[in-house]
Structure 1
């Protein structure tokens, strides 16, 4: 995606791989589309990321790199038409305050999109307000998505065509390693890195905390609306891999390609067009919500090696990175997931499936807390709490035994959003945090009022995030623990509550004791 100000003043910076030419604009200095790993193409398609290759001369770093391959169909709409998609997508972007500086705090954002869609260029001005207001270095990056990053096909690995697991997760670790090795050249402090993300990006944050290869690559973490338990072991992901190969074979059969042996499957995966790879993944993800309610097919895999154990278990035994953590969710996470986005446990059959694994007394207690279940509103809240809120509570309480935790709930929403029945739903806090209310969609959300209060809440939220990135602490925001469970509620007027929705928390504890 081209920079809006390609004619703005440029500046060069020397990196290990060569000289990169960035741009000065709107109070910031930015370098975009820098490779943090070798292109994962051809023989590297299904392999862990390799070190970036040097370049000759001056590299133009004024524009974002191509986005990862993703589909424009299925539950989630991928890259806008006109955006270049490529397997050569492992690029990183850095912004700093105009005039630079030394030893600046670094904030690395991991975009969401259900590990299926999205990119660091989706909202190209996301980090500008953090850079200008906080004097920080802001980093964003692309990573492999969909089948190319988040379906575990390692069971089809052969000696001739190796296939590794957790490729998208490995990309994220490679990006953080690049930050460690290069961020000082941009004025950032490699020992003061905060990684933060939302939705799948929040899941990435909590997963990285449990990934041994990521240890030491960041000092603080922020997980926003993370489905922290949305990753599974090989007993389930192996079946998904088999089903995925069936869908892919069906797409390729007209050309005479078949999969009968591991060698055939590995050859097919090596030769398939990336568009076929991601469309076969769409077929799998459309099947999963009803076949395996409460799960998400595109996810990291607990492979016993790169990701040794379930992150929630690692948080329990303290084997995660013991870094300060901000974590929380929005008031009504599940309200967004309707229509084509309906991937949660919102339908009567899906809810019955979830209930079938619990005791009758626990089911009765949960039903009492969601009156009308499985009616639409109650189902949305039940599903949102199952996927996002309750697993987030478990991460917070377990991590608080080993490191500082600050817990939040985001409650504010413009009036139109409330009138439409979404309230403070999944993803809405990004419009506040990144000050996106002046865009077309932001102004539309505020047409009935509430825009100014929403923006002010975002400003306060941003100040907390920036203070945390600087010091690991937040003035006026008590730490979370298992006794008081003090939580900041972001609203028109922020407040601190002790164990909000405590009755609901206890009911969920009995309902899904394995979480």
Structure 2
């Protein structure tokens, strides 16, 4: 009966020459009418799960029944709730319409797609801001390279990551938090069930993201519920820092439930019913105003172990990976830096107090004579560089394809603003969206050299998503990390190399290893002059 109704609807649409020009897809989720854009079919604002609203707030996403009739998919869905920007930022957009009813995704598919590789993008924004509809993530160019591109929204901030003892007590699994991560799992499950209708291959899905999106990629690699929902991973500027456990004060972290209880008290009530009755905008703004920082939770269920422990156990998804970082990561994230010491002597004294027998190695790499540059490089390497190289090393050890990169590209505006290869600077090159960056983003020149770099990066990313091997016609083959620690250096043009920053990853691994062994120190933003005294060498650590 349903199929008969659908057939009648499609016949009626075909009878209207104006309406018939727009693409219509009959997916298991329901019938959708999208839009056409130069050989690419675009379907926006598709709901992938039932958002838990009102009295169901802070629960896993619900199953969404098939809708009746033809759903208009010409417009993006609402962004998930997020606080208004409190200061000017190169990353800030004018906020679109926001709602708790935000669990939607958008699809860009070639007109001729048939069993095409699928590229699922998870936006960044510190798990606090952002949207899959941000123009910089427009999937048109990647779709023209043969991919079916999917960009998703997921719950953010207090609505996406709050843990509370009372919420855990309500859960059949006895856990809370990680709701945004569960949304991502639900989106991948929707893709598995529906993407064939758009010409995509559910057996060839790459999950990709940058910054908090790359953190999410690692969490999905570690989450049992996501196993089998994707087949390759791309992590751009990921950070494998320590995360709070649900109830125990491990690794120097306040338990997630305790953090949630403290926040709830500041919001005026620890009663979930009262919190659920609170207006979503008020709740979001007030939580952000307290300094609440959303993060994933190690709860023993959704995320069984610290990410670094999962990868050490070889318990992560055994999939090929492409991972890397930018040379100027911290230039646009200076809030991650501690206050600089007064002079070189004070800098060296702080490093020796924090790094003990590893201080000479640290100072050789990050010398006191260039305090600012040393602090920028140390935080970059400890968070983003160490994470990226660890990811490719771990996946290579599993026998999976592993490809490492450094984005080191500059152009006049970034040099003028001292933002050489800043955090997220690679995004408009991969998506070919140089003309769709945020208003305060350093303007990318319209030049042949910029065009060539964007074409190369788009080709490498699309090739990896399609085959697991990044290739770009006319450019160097990307060496595997397993072969002499190979990497690709994106500066003026792509160049292959090996052994990026020799000894640096090993230094930061030694620091993390000792902190993990001590059990009461975070391996987080406490880098350089902010480092606590290094524990003594432990078994298995340098």
Q: Same fold by TM-score, threshold 0.5 exceeded?
A: yes
27 and 373 in structure 1: CA distance in 2 versus 1, 3 angstrom threshold: farther
User: Is 1:204 paired with 2:205?
Assistant: no
* Deviation for aligned residue 1:370: 1.8
Which residue in the other structure is 2:69 paired with?
57
Which residue in the other structure is 1:390 paired with?
386
Which residue in the other structure is 2:479 paired with?
478
Which residue in the other structure is 2:11 paired with?
none
* Deviation for aligned residue 1:135: 1.4
What's the RMSD between the two structures over aligned residues? 3.0
Aligned residues: 481
Which residue in the other structure is 2:14 paired with?
none
CA distance in 1, matches of 2:68, 2:446: 52
Which residue in the other structure is 2:430 paired with?
433
Which residue in the other structure is 2:234 paired with?
222
- Partner-residue secondary structure (3-state), 1:190: strand
User: Is 1:278 paired with 2:284?
Assistant: yes
117 and 230 in structure 1: CA distance in 2 versus 1, 3 angstrom threshold: farther
155 and 334 in structure 1: CA distance in 2 versus 1, 3 angstrom threshold: farther
* Deviation for aligned residue 1:165: 2.7
- Partner-residue secondary structure (3-state), 1:165: coil
154 and 85 in structure 1: CA distance in 2 versus 1, 3 angstrom threshold: farther
User: Is 1:107 paired with 2:119?
Assistant: yes
In structure 2, list runs of 5 or more residues that go unmatched. 1-17, 342-346, 472-476, 517-522, 524-542
Which residue in the other structure is 2:154 paired with?
143
User: Is 1:399 paired with 2:411?
Assistant: no
CA distance in 1, matches of 2:141, 2:171: 48
* Deviation for aligned residue 1:187: 0.6
CA distance in 1, matches of 2:266, 2:440: 44
Which residue in the other structure is 1:178 paired with?
190
User: Is 1:497 paired with 2:520?
Assistant: no
Which residue in the other structure is 1:292 paired with?
none
| Contact kept in structure 2, 1:437 and 1:455, CA below 8 Å | no
| Contact kept in structure 2, 1:15 and 1:185, CA below 8 Å | yes
Which residue in the other structure is 2:97 paired with?
84
CA distance in 1, matches of 2:245, 2:262: 20
CA distance in 1, matches of 2:479, 2:117: 22
- Partner-residue secondary structure (3-state), 1:223: strand
| 1:107-506 pair list within 5 angstroms | 107-123=119-135, 126-132=138-144, 134-154=145-165, 156-159=167-170, 164-229=176-241, 231-234=243-246, 235=248, 239=255, 241-252=257-268, 258-259=269-270, 265-285=271-291, 297-338=293-334, 342=335, 344-348=336-340, 359-372=355-368, 375-402=371-398, 403-439=400-436, 445-446=442-443, 451-475=447-471, 476-481=477-482, 484-506=484-506
274 and 465 in structure 1: CA distance in 2 versus 1, 3 angstrom threshold: same
* Deviation for aligned residue 1:348: 4.3
| Contact kept in structure 2, 1:8 and 1:23, CA below 8 Å | no
CA distance in 2, matches of 1:329, 1:26: 33
Give the stretch that moved more between structures: 504-513 or 200-209.
504-513
Aligned with 1:22 (options 34, 41, 55): 34
27 and 159 in structure 1: CA distance in 2 versus 1, 3 angstrom threshold: closer
* Deviation for aligned residue 1:84: 1.3
TM-score by length of 1: 0.85
Give the stretch that moved more between structures: 11-20 or 502-511.
502-511
Give the stretch that moved more between structures: 463-472 or 11-20.
11-20
* Deviation for aligned residue 1:44: 2.5
Whose radius of gyration is greater, 1 or 2? 2
CA distance in 2, matches of 1:444, 1:221: 27
382 and 7 in structure 1: CA distance in 2 versus 1, 3 angstrom threshold: farther
* Deviation for aligned residue 1:87: 0.6
CA distance in 1, matches of 2:232, 2:259: 38
Which residue in the other structure is 2:474 paired with?
none
* Deviation for aligned residue 1:410: 0.6
CA distance in 2, matches of 1:66, 1:437: 24
319 and 508 in structure 1: CA distance in 2 versus 1, 3 angstrom threshold: same
* Deviation for aligned residue 1:159: 4.4
Which runs of 4 or more aligned residues in structure 1 lie more than 6 Å from their structure 2 counterparts after TM superposition?
75-79, 160-163, 354-357
CA distance in 1, matches of 2:238, 2:203: 25
Give the stretch that moved more between structures: 390-399 or 71-80.
71-80
* Deviation for aligned residue 1:321: 0.8
169 and 76 in structure 1: CA distance in 2 versus 1, 3 angstrom threshold: farther
- Partner-residue secondary structure (3-state), 1:378: helix
Which residue in the other structure is 1:291 paired with?
none
* Deviation for aligned residue 1:300: 1.0
TM-score by length of 2: 0.81
- Cα deviations across residues 153-204 of structure 1 (Å, max 9, x unaligned)? 3554444999733101100000000000000000100001111111101111
